[in-house]
Amino acid sequence: MNTASETAVIDAVNKQLFIGGSWTDASGAATFDVHDPATGKVLCSVADASPADGRAALDAAVKAQPVMAALSPRERADILTRAFELLHERIDDLALLMTLEMGKPLAEAKGEITYAAEFFRHFASEAVRIDGGYQTAPAGGARFLVTKQPVGPCILITPWNFPMAMGTRKLGPAIAAGCSSVIKPAPQTPLSMLALAGILAEAGLPEGAVNVITCTDAAGVTEPMITSGLARKLSFTGSTKVGKILLAQCAEKVMRTSMELGGNAPFIVFDDADLDEAVAGAVAAKMRNMGEACTAANRIYIQSSIIDEFGKRLAEKLGAMTVGRGTEDGVNVGPLIDQPSLDKVQRLVADAVDRGATVITGGEPVDGDGYFFTPTVLSGVSTDAAMNAEEIFGPVAPLTPFDAEDEVIALANGTPWGLVGYVYTNDLRRALRVSEALEFGMVGLNQGVVSNPYAPFGGIKESGLGREGGSIGIDEFLEVKYIGITA
């Protein structure tokens, strides 16, 4: 049974599709249920789009594209700024909505709304700084005029773990660049995106500039959209497995892509590090979002001389965390998103223990409703444990000892992924050497969280293509055009 304020924020969301600036039922009025991961109970139902609905949304985006492109940079910036303000004005309700559908504690949900809003503020500033060039050809005579134009209608696909921020991280630069879009949130967390659609409409976005389709048959709905040739860009955040399928589909029409895929982050602590800072960094890198983040520390390598002390201190911190429904006071670890996620975490912990790991704290799911797992520290995790090769996506910190710098660099880089790595050391030369040697798109140096709207977020290897945020984030949504002029 939801409280009155919970029911009010759920009721306030329009649960239809948002196409061409209007709210509309899915074909045949199809719907699907949204669950509270803390209880497993149904929160509400939302429209379940068909492939035909997806096509209608894309057609609306195509129609809106010239309108978006014709807005002045200042007009686009003003819409983003107004949406930024509205997100802050409604932060309490939006955070409660997010906690209900995704599970993260309210304080983290508020943090995510702030993070999400910041992408709009950042890209409002970038909209008015899109530049170009003018140059005399080296041989003289001709002139080169270089300008940037919106890439065109975009398909944006977002995950359930950051249901608002991954939307604004894509929509912010798309709108700033003058692109229209169709955005599809994950079926587990459609409500935050639907709320965001309402806010963007209120902020003055032209009809059809952003279309939201919620659906359960993601592949069935998005594949025909991608292969239609009507969209010019796909931006996806999700698993490497799905990313590869989408890349193959985009190849058919040679579409621009941005891919933020899986991670398998190493977290390395040398014995010269400040241990308190390293433990605090590990708590942040592991426990942010209950470990359900592509940036989460997945393999924690500690120099042998300090591993016992590090393990003891980390276990004290994680063991003291309060697990529960994210709406309750004092809770800092919410549920995992669903039963398959809980099953996976259990399987990975059992496998590590079978291969010789010791549970220092936690190690078990919590009895009762919902998908809760106790914050866990494992020591002596073998390098061939399954969790070294798979994203845990849960509150489990696996500690593995190492002795030498080159050994740990080889271990850290020994993965197909390359999103983010973390290094703790007080030796400046080692810090630079190791940061440069790590084959990752981002490095947290004595820092457990790298995500920041003003920095370029993204990975190498099988962690993806392109960068989101930072001053280059808008380039993903712009085409460079060169006009040769006879002078």
Binding site for ligand O=CCCCC(=O)O (CB under 6 A): 161-162, 166, 237, 293-295, 451, 457
By beta-carbon proximity to ligand O=CCCCC(=O)O, the closer residue of 16 and 332 is 332
Please name the residues in contact with 224: beta carbons below 8 A apart, sequence gap of 6 or more: 51, 54, 55
| Structure token pair of residue 8 | 């009010």
By beta-carbon proximity to ligand O=CCCCC(=O)O, the closer residue of 59 and 108 is 108
Distance CA(376)–CA(313), nearest Å, equals 13
| Structure token pair of residue 193 | 């995106």
By beta-carbon proximity to ligand O=CCCCC(=O)O, the closer residue of 240 and 303 is 240
By beta-carbon proximity to ligand O=CCCCC(=O)O, the closer residue of 336 and 360 is 336
Known catalytic residue at 260: yes
3-state secondary structure of 196: helix
By beta-carbon proximity to ligand O=CCCCC(=O)O, the closer residue of 15 and 288 is 288
Identity of the amino acid at 473: G
Burial of 342 (0-12, 13-18, 19+ CB in 10 A): buried
Distance CA(244)–CA(249), nearest Å, equals 9
Burial of 68 (0-12, 13-18, 19+ CB in 10 A): buried
Q: How far is CA 470 from CA 263, 315, 463, in A?
A: 20, 35, 18
By beta-carbon proximity to ligand O=CCCCC(=O)O, the closer residue of 18 and 162 is 162
Using left for φ > 0, alpha for ψ between -120 and 50, and beta otherwise, residue 204 falls in left
Cα dihedral 49, 39, 97, 27, rounded to 10, equals 10
Maximum CA extent, the chain = 78
3-state secondary structure of 341: helix
Q: How far is CA 420 from CA 90, 273, 412, 441, in A?
A: 32, 19, 10, 6
By beta-carbon proximity to ligand O=CCCCC(=O)O, the closer residue of 401 and 473 is 473
CA 107 to chain centre: 18
Task: Kindly state the DSSP code that residue 268 receives in the 8-state scheme.
Answer: E
State the minimum distance, in angstroms, from the CB of residue 19 to ligand O=CCCCC(=O)O: 27
By beta-carbon proximity to ligand O=CCCCC(=O)O, the closer residue of 303 and 451 is 451
State the minimum distance, in angstroms, from the CB of residue 267 to ligand O=CCCCC(=O)O: 15
Give the residue among 58, 82, 85, 260 at the shortest CA–CA distance from 179: 58
By beta-carbon proximity to ligand O=CCCCC(=O)O, the closer residue of 162 and 270 is 162
Q: Where are the beta strands (DSSP E) in 332-406?
A: 358-361, 376-379, 396-402
Please name the residues in contact with 323: beta carbons below 8 A apart, sequence gap of 6 or more: 331, 333, 334, 366, 372, 374, 375
State the minimum distance, in angstroms, from the CB of residue 266 to ligand O=CCCCC(=O)O: 16
State the minimum distance, in angstroms, from the CB of residue 164 to ligand O=CCCCC(=O)O: 11
State the minimum distance, in angstroms, from the CB of residue 283 to ligand O=CCCCC(=O)O: 16
State the minimum distance, in angstroms, from the CB of residue 457 to ligand O=CCCCC(=O)O: 6
For residues 184 and 213, the answer to whether their CB atoms sit within 8 Å is yes
Distance CA(26)–CA(55), nearest Å, equals 12
Distance CA(407)–CA(111), nearest Å, equals 37
State the minimum distance, in angstroms, from the CB of residue 386 to ligand O=CCCCC(=O)O: 20
Give the residue among 81, 241, 211, 108 at the shortest CA–CA distance from 164: 108
Q: Which of 112, 260, 292, 391 is catalytic?
A: 260
State the minimum distance, in angstroms, from the CB of residue 66 to ligand O=CCCCC(=O)O: 32
Identity of the amino acid at 485: I
State the minimum distance, in angstroms, from the CB of residue 264 to ligand O=CCCCC(=O)O: 12
Identity of the amino acid at 281: G
- The catalytic residues are 260
